Amino acid sequence: MNKKSAEEIRNLVLVISFALFGLFSFYYWGSPTQKIKESVQLKKEESQKGEDWSELLQRAQQRPIAESYIQAYQTGNCAEITRLTWWMQERLLFLQGQTLPESEVAKAMQEFCAGIQRDHTTAHLLTVEGIADQYLLTPQCTIQILGADRGIEGLAKPTSERVWVRVNYPNQAIALRDGNSKPIKSLVIGLNISHDGYILKSGIRGNIDVDLDRILYWN
């Protein structure tokens, strides 16, 4: 068998492994759409408490994890993002368990880093499905930790809590925009965090839970 054939077989095995992993993940953890529906219900429950977050703020034990994750995206720290994001860690562990060459693990890391780069050539808008985290957590935005609730159940790991954060965009020029291209002044996001300190994916696009009912716009 020549070198080219061996490389093709290795790539085919890797593709099949990823496909099986994806099917297992969907079957085991359920549809992301269902998780979003559950999240909306939880938001409605919390919204009944009004805008007084003082009680919820005291419950934000995972605040440092949320702050580290946000800062990593703002600074483009791929290593830290990968360390804190459970689905990335899980994929790396999966690859390592396949006794593949270290180059394949390194290749996955490179793909993660490429995936979090901001593409400024096209518009990236917030929709009901969410948005990739790098366009939500921009270098210029400011944040305020609001509090925490019990978060969404049934994610990839048991949820310790969901930390709620207000994200502010200081001017219209760099503001995130919604599906109608309206500039957003501030919004509230939730980061579901596991008991062992990993960010859990809870959106169809991106890992973050966006409260679409608490968006404020620039006039």
In a domain, 8, yes or no: no
Give the per-residue pLDDT at 172. Answer: 93
Give the per-residue pLDDT at 8. Answer: 61
Give the per-residue pLDDT at 37. Answer: 46
Pairing of strands 177-178, 125-126: parallel
Question: What is the 3-state composition of the chain as percent helix, strand, coil, each rounded to the nearest 5?
Answer: 45, 20, 30
Alpha-carbon distance 12 to 93, whole Å?
19
Alpha-carbon distance 64 to 82, whole Å?
16
- Adjacent-strand bridge partners of 142: 168
Alpha-carbon distance 184 to 206, whole Å?
18
pTM, 2 dp: 0.75
In a domain, 17, yes or no: no
Q: How many residues does the chain have?
A: 219
In a domain, 197, yes or no: yes
Give the per-residue pLDDT at 52. Answer: 59
Give the per-residue pLDDT at 29. Answer: 39
Per-residue pLDDT of the chain (219 residues; tens, 9 = 90+): 555 565 565 556 555 555 444 444 443 334 444 444 444 445 444 444 444 566 666 667 788 999 999 999 999 999 999 999 999 999 888 888 887 777 888 888 888 898 888 887 677 899 999 999 999 999 999 999 998 988 999 999 999 999 999 999 999 999 999 999 999 999 999 999 999 999 999 988 899 999 999 999 998
In a domain, 10, yes or no: no
Give the per-residue pLDDT at 186. Answer: 97
Q: Which of 146, 144, 191 is nearest to 54 (CA)?
A: 146
Q: Which helix (H) or strand (E) holds 34?
A: helix 32-47
- Adjacent-strand bridge partners of 188: 166, 211
Domain that holds residue 133: 31-75+124-217
In a domain, 22, yes or no: no
In a domain, 102, yes or no: no
Q: How many separate domains does the chain show?
A: 1
> Measured in whole angstroms, how far is the alpha carbon of residue 88 from the centre of its chain?
10
In a domain, 162, yes or no: yes
Name residues whose C-beta falls within 8 Å of residue 189's C-beta, 6 or more positions apart in sequence: 136, 164, 165, 167, 208, 209, 210, 211
Give the per-residue pLDDT at 198. Answer: 97
In a domain, 152, yes or no: yes
Give the per-residue pLDDT at 108. Answer: 86
